[in-house]
Amino acid sequence: MTEFEPNIIAFVCNWCTYTAADLAGTSRQSYPKNMRLVRVMCTGMVDSQYIIKAFMEGADGVLVSGCHPGDCHYINGNYKARRRMKMLKEILPLFGFEPQRLRLTWIGASDGIQFAETMRELTEQVRVLGPSQAKSGMVL
């Protein structure tokens, strides 16, 4: 049996986590291919519908990653993102989505190593959870 390869969609802020991903790349830090990065201008623009859409399309995990508190280039986008994540973390588990499939991290622009580590660890965690229920079944 081939090992389950999770698909993880990561919404990453242009000013920090995306830059960290770039840095990880240039400094030859490897991280799993399971991540699909979606570059956004700020985590504050990640509406819940993007995250829900990713899950409906069969994503096994979704990560939102932005600037550390106090570092958001739009002052408070990351605080708003955190409230929205809290909201989804209350709703999605009601319908059987494990809360660990939905993650929020702060990864600064210079944290290339931390970025690669987080991606590796997250992929393993989702691999252990197995495929998301939206993957196999029909979604209306």
Partner 1 sequence: MAITAKINVKDNDISAAIREFFISVLDTEDVSAILIPQHLPMKKMLMPTLVTDPQKLETADPLAPCFPMNAARLVSRLTRKPIGGKILVVLRPCEIRAFYELVKLNQGTMDELIIAGVDCLGAYKNSDYLRFLKQHGDKATEIFYQNALNGKTEITEGIDISPACKSCENPIPEGADILIGLLGADISNHLMIQAQSPKGEAVLKRLNLSEAEEPSSRKEAVSALISKRSSYRDEIFLKTHEATDTLDKLNNYLANCVNCYNCRVACPVCYCKECVFVTDVFNHEPYQYIKWAKRKGMIKMPADTVFYHLTRMAHISAACVGCGQCSNACPNDIPLAELFRMVAWQTQKAFDYTAGKSLDEKPPLSVFREDEFQEIVGIK
Binding site for ligand FES (CB under 6 A): 13, 15-16, 42-44, 66-67, 72-74, 77-78
CB of 12 to ligand FES, least distance (A): 9
Q: Which of 30, 33, 91, 130 binds partner 1 (CB under 8 A)?
A: 91
Q: Is 52 in the site for partner 1 (CB under 8 A)?
A: yes
CB of 110 to ligand FES, least distance (A): 14
Residue number, 73 or 84, with CB nearest to partner 1: 84
Residue number, 8 or 13, with CB nearest to ligand FES: 13
Binders of partner 1 among residues 30 to 49 (CB under 8 A) are: 48-49
User: Is the distance from CB of 85 to CB of 50 less than 8 angstroms?
Assistant: no
CB of 7 to ligand FES, least distance (A): 23
